[in-house]
């Protein structure tokens, strides 16, 4: 394995650990300082919208800058985010920090650093190893997020030692800032890569139509997923079942573990039935489990259905990324990663604000139902649109 690939894996692990506890700590912290579900939804929406705009900006400036330096800048922004969040309890300040910062209320596959890492990783592996490389990347990140989810229980233990609840939350944000600095140290060891040396002046060329169609479909998927981003799913469990922070951290740990184990399974399944089929035929059952969880009145049944969903719902993460990298030319990979990521972030920034409102209605499970139905629509559209567009490793070589 190349050293730069190992460094990317290590950085993904560090960021994943931080994301794992931050997405659980954030709604708990906002609740502790007096925010209601609607305002928490607005903060989540601001975070996702800011992620989209920052990723778009990176897409514009990337051809003129060193990829390594862009990654370094993102890591420094992560450190600043952790340091800035506890400085004020005013909604406007917190929304601003969420907008420009890196704490993402989703499960970690969105963010300004993600398309940059995807492009660098795709440059470092051949076609036949690409899906497995992204599966390992996702596996490492998700295991790290699982460990981070367990770490989200630390405030409960810290408060027992005599530190106040808000003080415990501020310590966790400080830890997040330190992890940003660790990520910067790892990125600093990466090789210099100037993207304008490896591709044409136009960011997208012959694959423009395919990329735009994928971006539109991924936006629908992200809009649906925004109704059940992990922070708001935690909030739903807190309010519906009075789940403790420690119990929530344990649940999200096992949820992340199941998602992690699904990645190598997805890579093997893709080799047998294809990338698009793997994305669709694992995604639809996961959406059905999510819809059923919305109607469950029993905590253990609800958690069981959500865990079943976790075992299937993320199989499309490495396969989707591998597919995007495969159906474009190597010169277009960085642009394709950004163009497909930005609409996802924009679309997912709208629905959390709606979730905050829906959680306050008589049927608080409505966001789960809306998410599941829209995701099934996305899966059917993806299958109909791309079942005939094969990546290089799935094409049958012509007979000599």
Supply angle C-alpha 355, 311, 291, rounded to 5.
Answer: 40
d(CA 100, CA 103) in angstroms, rounded, equals 9
Any residues with CB less than 8 A from the CB of 374 and at least 6 apart, and which?
A: 220, 221, 223, 224, 227
How is residue 222 written in tokens?
């992200």
Nearest to 119 by CA among 203, 181, 53: 203
Confidence (pTM): 0.71
Pick the CATH number of 3-191+207-389 from 1.20.1250.20, 3.30.428.10, 3.30.420.40, 3.30.70.1710: 1.20.1250.20
Nearest to 146 by CA among 236, 233, 258, 48: 258
Nearest to 188 by CA among 10, 333, 334, 18: 10
Please report, to the nearest 10 degrees, the dihedral formed by the alpha carbons of residues 179, 185, 191, 192 taken in order: 90
Q: What is the DSSP letter of 85?
A: G
d(CA 100, CA 53) in angstroms, rounded, equals 9
194, β-bridge pairs: 66
pLDDT for the residue numbered 79: 95
DSSP per-residue string spanning 189-236: TSPP-BGGGTS-SSS--TTHHHHHHHHHHHHHHHHHHGGG-HHHHHHH
Do 197 and 330 contact (CB within 8 A), yes or no? no
66, β-bridge pairs: 194
What tens-digit pLDDT sequence spans the chain (400 residues)? 578 889 999 999 999 999 889 988 888 899 999 998 788 888 888 887 888 788 777 766 766 678 788 899 999 999 999 999 988 889 899 999 999 988 876 655 667 788 788 878 877 777 778 888 888 988 898 888 888 888 988 888 888 887 888 999 999 999 999 999 999 999 999 888 765 544 444 556 778 889 899 999 998 998 998 898 887 888 899 889 988 888 888 898 888 888 888 888 998 999 889 999 999 999 999 999 999 999 999 999 999 999 999 999 889 888 998 899 888 887 677 778 778 877 776 777 778 878 888 888 889 899 999 999 999 999 999 999 998 988 888 876 444 4
pLDDT for the residue numbered 244: 85
3-class DSSP state for residue 164?
coil
Do 221 and 375 contact (CB within 8 A), yes or no? yes
d(CA 189, CA 185) in angstroms, rounded, equals 7
If you search the block for the tokens 């609409």, which residue do you land on? 343
d(CA 67, CA 71) in angstroms, rounded, equals 6
């Amino acid at each position: 394995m190349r050293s730069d690939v190992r460094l990317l894996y290590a950085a993904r692990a560090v960021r994943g650990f931080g994301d794992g506890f931050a997405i659980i700590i954030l709604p708990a912290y906002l609740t502790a300082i007096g925010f209601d579900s609607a305002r928490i939804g607005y903060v989540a929406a601001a975070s996702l919208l800011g992620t989209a705009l920052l990723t778009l900006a990176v897409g514009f400036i990337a051809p003129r800058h060193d990829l390594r330096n862009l990654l370094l800048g993102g890591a420094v922004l992560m450190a600043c985010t952790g340091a800035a969040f506890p400085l004020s309890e005013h909604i406007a300040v917190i929304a601003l920090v969420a907008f420009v910062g890196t704490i993402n209320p989703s499960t970690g596959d969105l963010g300004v650093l993600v398309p940059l890492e995807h492009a660098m990783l795709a440059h470092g592996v051949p076609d036949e190893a690409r899906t497995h490389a992204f599966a390992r990347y996702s596996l490492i990140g998700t295991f790290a997020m699982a460990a981070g989810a367990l770490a989200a229980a630390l405030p409960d233990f810290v408060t027992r030692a005599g530190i106040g609840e808000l003080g415990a939350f501020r310590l966790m944000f400080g830890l997040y800032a330190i992890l940003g600095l660790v990520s910067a140290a790892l990125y600093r060891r990466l090789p210099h890569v100037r993207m304008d040396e490896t591709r044409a002046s136009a960011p997208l060329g012959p694959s423009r139509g395919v990329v735009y169609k994928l971006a539109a479909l991924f936006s629908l998927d992200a809009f649906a997923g925004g109704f059940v981003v992990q922070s708001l799913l935690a909030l739903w469990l807190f309010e519906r079942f009075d789940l403790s922070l420690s119990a929530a951290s344990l649940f999200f740990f096992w949820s992340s573990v199941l998602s992690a184990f699904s990645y190598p399974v997805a890579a093997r399944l893709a080799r047998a039935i294809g990338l698009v089929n793997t994305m669709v035929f694992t995604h639809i059952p996961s959406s059905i489990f999510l819809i059923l969880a919305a109607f469950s009145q029993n905590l253990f049944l609800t958690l069981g259905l959500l865990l079943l969903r976790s075992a299937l719902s993320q199989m499309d993460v490495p396969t989707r990324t591998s597919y995007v990298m495969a159906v474009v030319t190597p010169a277009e990979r960085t642009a394709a990663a950004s163009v497909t990521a930005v609409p996802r972030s924009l679309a997912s920034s709208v629905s959390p604000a709606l979730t905050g409102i829906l959680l306050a209605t008589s049927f608080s499970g409505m966001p789960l139902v809306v998410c599941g139905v829209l995701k099934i629509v996305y899966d059917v559209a993806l299958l109909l649109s791309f079942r005939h567009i094969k990546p290089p490793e799935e094409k049958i070589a012509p007979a000599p």
